[in-house]
Structure 1
Amino acid sequence: MTIEIGLLFTVISLIIAVLGYQLNKQKAAIEQQKEIKIDSQQDARIQAQLDYIGKGVDDIRIDLKASEKERIALGERVTRVEESTKQAHKRIDFIENKEEK
């Protein structure tokens, strides 16, 4: 009878050990799923921020190109104004020289 009680306690201990192992395994799986969920949320946030930054960079490039076109147009206008001013000074000098004589 003592062997049967000892054997019974051994079997119960093994069952409790197996159940404890299964419980810990399930907890570990749940923790891993939570970590995966948190990581995927962080990855999604980072991806969204990178997309936002990329869009901002594209907008800056477009603005920069527009500014460069305006600068080139302004440079051409300044060149024309300088040429016109030079011609006007020649005419003024001609008129002054005419009046002096």
Structure 2
Amino acid sequence: MNVSMGLLITLVGLLCTATGVVLGLFKHSRDRKKDVKSDATESAIIRTKLDNIGQTVDSIRIEFKASDQRWTALSERAIRNEESVKQAHKRIDKIENKGEF
């Protein structure tokens, strides 16, 4: 009975060890899947944020170009007005020099 009891204890010990190894591998596999899923989620969030930043930069670029065009048009109008005022002053000076005014 002594030998049979020792064999039973050894078998129970081996069974517990094997069960512990299997459960450990199962937990490791499960944790790894969670980590992969978590990494994929984080990557998707980062990718989405980068896309939003890119779209915002594109919008700012478009608005900046439109603003630049408005400033260019305004500058050209100011130059034309200055030239017109200059010509008007020349005509006024001619009229004053003729003594008509």
User: Shift in Å at residue 18 of structure 1?
Assistant: 0.4
User: Shift in Å at residue 100 of structure 1?
Assistant: 6.6
Matched, 1:82 2:87: no
**Runs of 5+ consecutive residues of structure 2 not aligned to the other structure:** none
Residue 29 (structure 1) aligns with? 29
Instruction: Find the aligned partners of 2:92 and 2:45 in 1 and give their Cα distance.
Output: 69
Instruction: Find the aligned partners of 1:82 and 1:99 in 2 and give their Cα distance.
Output: 26
Residue 15 (structure 1) aligns with? 15
RMSD of aligned residue pairs (Cα, Å): 1.4
Q: Which amino acid aligns with 2:25?
A: K
**Runs of 5+ consecutive residues of structure 1 not aligned to the other structure:** none
Structure 1 ranges of 4+ moved more than 2 A: none
The C-alpha deviation readout for 1:65-93, integer Å capped at 9, x for no partner, is 11111111111111111111110000011
Q: Which has the higher contact order (CA 8 A, sep 6+)?
A: 2
Give the TM-score normalised by structure 1: 0.93
Instruction: Find the aligned partners of 2:75 and 2:11 in 1 and give their Cα distance.
Output: 95
Identity %: 47
User: Shift in Å at residue 28 of structure 1?
Assistant: 1.3
